[in-house]
Structure 1
Amino acid sequence: MFRSALAVIGTLCLLVFSQLVLAAAENAHVKSKAPASVVFLNPGFSDEPFWVSYSAFMQAAADDLGMHLEVIYGERDSQRLLESARSLMARDKQPDYLVFVNEMYTAPQLLRLFAESPIKLFSLHSTLTLEQQQIIGGSRGQYRNWIGSLVPNDEQAGYWMAKALIGKLEGQPASLLAFAGVRFTPSATLREDGLRRALREHPEIKLQQVLQGEWKRQRAYEQAQLVLARYPEVRLVWSANDEMAFGVMQAARELGKQPGKDIYLAALNNSDEVLQARIDGTLSVLASGHFTLGGWAMVMLHDYHKGLDFAARGGKDRVDPLFSLLDVKQAAHLQKLLKVPGSTLDFRQFSAVYRPQIRDYGFSIKPLLQ
C-alpha cells in the first residue's frame, strides 16, 4: 500500500513537472517571436492635434511592447490614403499588420486591395457599417486576413453629451442646434444617432437644425454666424468635436452671447484647448477618451502576434466604452497628463502575454483618470 502511494505521488510529480516544462517552452516560444511591425493609415492631417495625439498614444504603446509602428497620414484625402495603401503593397519588406479607419467609407476598397496579401488587416476607430458588412461580410469571413476591429462607443457618447447638455436647463423647454462631422463617416453618424436618441426622450427640446460642420472650426463658425442669428432663442449647442464647438463659440460671442451662461455647448475631444474650456466653464459638457484607441489596438495586435488571439478575450470585434464625460477635475488631470511626452502608462499591464489572467481586455480611459 505504501509503495502504491509512492508510485501515485511519483506519477503526479512527473505530470506536474511535464506541464511546467511545456508551459515554459510555450512561453519561451511566444516571447521569442520577432516583434510585430504595424502600419497605421491615419486619415487625418499630419498637423491635426487630435490625430497627432492619437498616433503618439499608439507609439507609446508600441515602445512599451517592443513593436515597430509606422504612421502614414492621409491628410483628409481618401484618394491619397488609398494611393499610400497601394504603395505599401509594392514594398519589398511589408509590415505584419495594417491598421485602417473606415473614413469616407473607404474600408471595402482597402479590403479588396489587400485580399490576397499576407498582411493582416485591423479596422480601428470606425469599422465597416452594418450595410457594408451585409454585402461583403464581417472580419475573418470573406476577407480572412481582416482579423478584427476596435471602435469606441460613439452612439453612447453622442447620447451622453446631449443628456448632460439638456440637463443644464433642468427640464425647461429650449431650442438646440447640432454640428455634425463629415457626412458618410461612421463615427459622425453614430454620434448624431446618440443625439437623436436623447432628443426622443426630451420632447421639450426642439432641434432647430443639424449642420455638417465637417470637423472644421472655420466652417462651423461661418455656419453658426447664420443660424445663431436665424434662431436667437437657441440655448443649447451640441458639437460632434471640439473644433466645431470653438467655431460656434466665436460666433456666439460676436453676437453678444456668453458661453456657459447665455448658451451652453457640448463637445468631444482631448485637445489642450478643449480641456481648458471645460476647466474654465465656457464649455459645459465634454466627452473624451477615443484618442486612446490606437494604443489599445497595439496591445491586441501584440498579443495576437505572440499567439494569444484577442478573440478569446472579449471577441474579435470590440466596441469598448472609451468615452467618458469629464468633470472639471478630470479635465484638469488629463490636461496635465497629456502635456508630458509619451504616456505614463505601462502598456504591458494590459497585455495577456504579461498578464495571462486577463479574460476580457475591457479598455477605457479610466487608467488615465486615476
Structure 2
Amino acid sequence: MKLTRKLSLRNYVRMTRKVITSALLLSPLMSSQAGAEFTAPSMPIQNIVFLNPGYATEAFWSQMIMAASVTATSLGMTLETVSANRNTDEFLRLGTKIMMRKNPPDLLITTNNHGLAIPILATSDATGVPVMIILNSLTHEQLQDEGMVVGRHAYWLGNVSPNHQQGGHDTMQALIERHQILHGKAEGAVIALVGGQHDEASRLRLRGMQDALRQAPYLYRDRTFQANWSYEDAFRLVDRYVKHQGSTLPLRVVWAASDLMAIAAIDALKVNGLRPGKDVLVAGMGWTDQGINHLRTGELEASAGGDALAAAWSLVLLAALQRGVITSEALGTRYYTMGLATSAAPDSYLDEISMETLALKPMGHWVEKVANLPDSASPFLPLPAYQSSTAKTLGHKPLTSAMEGGKREK
C-alpha cells in the first residue's frame, strides 16, 4: 500500500518535516548553522526547477515547459524540468530530493495536483528553498489549515493560476449558445468529465460550468464523471454511458475540463454512431494542438486556454518581484483570464498566431508593466474574453467531490 494511503496528509506532513529537518541538521550543508532560523534567500533567483506532476511528452505539459523555458532564457534565468509521470509518490520523493540537493535551486515551481502542495511546503520550510505554486491553488480546506500566502510558510512566494471558474463557465456558455442554434430549447442530457477529485482546477472549472448551466433549465446534467485528466478513463466512461444511458433525455452536451478528455469523448461518441458537433456538442479546455484541430473540424465546439502559460507568467512576476516592481505581498494569489476559442473562429484566440509563436516571444518587456496590470490580466491573453464573461467572482467555497455517477438534483 502506498505511503500516502497509509497516513493522513497531516501526519505525513509532520513526518516529512521531522525527517528532513533531522537530515539537514546532520548534513555538512547545515552543520555550521544548526539551530539557526531560516532567512529569506538572497536575490537574484536564477536557477529554477519546475517539478512537473505529469509526463513531459504530454501535449499540455510540453507546451507549458516550452513556454517557461523560453521565458526563463529571455529573463536571464535557467529552468530545469523534473517530471513525476503522474506518480504521486514519485512527485513527493522528487520534491524532497530537489530541495535537499547539495546545491539546491533558488526556486521550485510546482502544482497542487491531488492536494500535494502541503508536503512540498513542509519541505520548503525545512530546507529554505522558496516555492511558487501554479495552476492549482490551495483548496479551501488547505487555506483554512495553512493560512494565507504571507504567513505560515516563510518560503511560499505565492500562487499563479488561470481563472479556471471563468474558463469552465465560458465553455459551457458556448455549448448552450450552439445548442440553441441547432436544437432551440429542446431538452437534453449533459455529462461532465472532470480531473482529479482533489484538484482545485477541476473543482473551479466544474463550478463555472454549473454557473452557466443554471441559465439553461432545459439542459440537465445527468452525470459527472471523474476521468482523472486521462484519455483512457474519459473514453471508457463516455462509451459506457452512451451504451447504457439511463436518462430518458437524449445526450446533447459533453463538457470536459480538458481538451484531452474532450477528444476522448469525441472518439467514444463516434464509435457509438453519434456525430460530435451535430448530435452531441463537446467542449474542452487547454488549447492543445489536437484540441484546436478538432475545433477546425467542428467536432469540438469550444476550448478555453492559456493555462499552459502559467509557469511562464509566474517567471515574469518573479522577475518583477526581484526588480522591485511589485512586492511579495502584492504577488499573493493571481488568477489571470483564460481566452475562449470556438469552432466558428478557432484561431481568434491568438489572432491567427500559433501558441508556439506566442510562447517564443521574449517576455522581459512585460516585467516593468506588471505593476500597472490588473490582477486578472495576463500579457499572453486578451482582456475582452474575461470582461465579457458573466462568471461569478472566484471564491474558495468547498465543492462536493465530483465522483463517477454523481447526479445533479433537479
Q: Same fold (TM over 0.5)?
A: yes
Shift of 1:230: 2.7
Shift of 1:90: 2.4
Distance 1:365 1:304, change over 3 A: closer
Does the 8 A contact of 1:35 with 1:68 survive in 2? no
Distance 1:330 1:258, change over 3 A: closer
Shift of 1:116: 3.2
Question: Deviations for 1:260-306, whole angstroms, at most 9, x for unmatched residues?
Answer: 11111011112211101111111111111111111110111122233
Provide the residue aligned with 2:77 in structure 1.
67
Equivalent of residue 176 in structure 1, options 183, 190, 197: 190
Distance 1:40 1:104, change over 3 A: same
Shift of 1:367: 6.2
Provide the residue aligned with 2:399 in structure 1.
none
Equivalent of residue 309 in structure 1, options 326, 332, 336: 326
Distance 1:203 1:316, change over 3 A: same
- Per the alignment, in what secondary structure is the counterpart of residue 151 of structure 1? strand
> In structure 1, what is the Cα distance between the partners aligned to 2:127 and 2:100?
11
Distance 1:358 1:36, change over 3 A: farther
Does the 8 A contact of 1:122 with 1:149 survive in 2? yes
Provide the residue aligned with 1:249 in structure 2.
266
Provide the residue aligned with 1:220 in structure 2.
234
Matched, 1:319 2:335: yes
Provide the residue aligned with 2:378 in structure 1.
363
Q: How many correspondences in the alignment?
A: 333
Question: Deviations for 1:108-145, whole angstroms, at most 9, x for unmatched residues?
Answer: 11111111333211111111112111111111201111
Provide the residue aligned with 1:123 in structure 2.
133
Does the 8 A contact of 1:288 with 1:326 survive in 2? no
> In structure 1, what is the Cα distance between the partners aligned to 2:242 and 2:151?
48
- Per the alignment, in what secondary structure is the counterpart of residue 147 of structure 1? strand
Provide the residue aligned with 2:295 in structure 1.
278
Equivalent of residue 151 in structure 2, options 122, 136, 141: 141
Shift of 1:310: 4.7
Moved more, 244-253 or 53-62: 244-253
Shift of 1:207: 0.9
Does the 8 A contact of 1:237 with 1:265 survive in 2? yes
Provide the residue aligned with 1:23 in structure 2.
none
TM-score by length of 1: 0.83
Provide the residue aligned with 1:235 in structure 2.
252
- Per the alignment, in what secondary structure is the counterpart of residue 175 of structure 1? strand
Equivalent of residue 313 in structure 2, options 293, 296, 301: 296
> In structure 2, what is the Cα distance between the partners aligned to 1:351 and 1:47?
30
The one-letter code of the counterpart of 2:169 is Y
> In structure 1, what is the Cα distance between the partners aligned to 2:257 and 2:381?
22
Matched, 1:40 2:50: yes
Does the 8 A contact of 2:195 with 2:257 survive in 1? yes
Shift of 1:71: 1.1
Does the 8 A contact of 1:267 with 1:283 survive in 2? yes
Distance 1:152 1:356, change over 3 A: closer
Matched, 1:348 2:364: yes
Distance 1:303 1:140, change over 3 A: same
Distance 1:368 1:69, change over 3 A: farther
> In structure 1, what is the Cα distance between the partners aligned to 2:295 and 2:307?
17
The one-letter code of the counterpart of 1:351 is V
Question: Deviations for 1:321-344, whole angstroms, at most 9, x for unmatched residues?
Answer: 13434455453775862455x834
Distance 1:236 1:62, change over 3 A: same
The one-letter code of the counterpart of 1:227 is Y
Q: Which runs of 5+ in 2 are unaligned?
A: 1-42, 385-410
Distance 1:204 1:109, change over 3 A: same
Distance 1:315 1:298, change over 3 A: closer
- Per the alignment, in what secondary structure is the counterpart of residue 262 of structure 1? coil
Question: Deviations for 1:306-357, whole angstroms, at most 9, x for unmatched residues?
Answer: 3443547x642111113434455453775862455x83422012102xx587
Distance 1:82 1:220, change over 3 A: same
Provide the residue aligned with 1:158 in structure 2.
168
The one-letter code of the counterpart of 1:317 is T
Distance 1:343 1:169, change over 3 A: closer
> In structure 1, what is the Cα distance between the partners aligned to 2:198 and 2:258?
16
> In structure 1, what is the Cα distance between the partners aligned to 2:122 and 2:128?
13
Provide the residue aligned with 1:211 in structure 2.
225
